[in-house]
Amino acid sequence: MATARETTGVHWSELPCAIEDGDLWFAATSADADRAKELCRTCPLQHSCLQGAIARQEPHGVWGGEVFYEGIVVARKRTRGRPRNGELHQRDLERQARANLRKNTSEAVA
């Protein structure tokens, strides 16, 4: 697998999600998710990041400038409130997404 630096000339540590507060990408509010989406749009890996997230069916978070929920791109992050069925495991989904991010980041560096 090619590293981020090999494909774009940018080291992973220079990517917006590494520079800014990583919690924005798994934000609890729509405003923070929108901020993460904006930052992704400045990222040289946006297209490949989005394609990878689609392929992996990311369960949660902002990837490649899009919000994912249960493996699909959704228009907006849902607002807070009583969770619907399927949202009750959100913390597990967040943990899985963070683990995926750490795994993908370490693979890009290898």
Task: Output the six-digit token pair for 23.
Answer: 């919690």
Binding of ligand SF4 by 64 (CB under 6 A): yes
d(CA 1, CA 108): 7
User: Shortest approach of ligand SF4 to residue 81 CB, angstroms?
Assistant: 26
Binding of ligand SF4 by 100 (CB under 6 A): no
Binding of ligand SF4 by 43 (CB under 6 A): yes
Q: Under rule CB under 6 A, which residues in 19-38 are in contact with ligand SF4?
A: 25
d(CA 55, CA 6): 22
Q: What are phi and psi of 63, to 5 degrees?
A: -135, 130
User: Shortest approach of ligand SF4 to residue 91 CB, angstroms?
Assistant: 20
DSSP 3-state of 5: helix
Binding of ligand SF4 by 59 (CB under 6 A): no
d(CA 57, CA 41): 20
Binding of ligand SF4 by 63 (CB under 6 A): yes
Binding site for ligand SF4 (CB under 6 A): 15-17, 25, 39-40, 43, 45-46, 49, 63-65
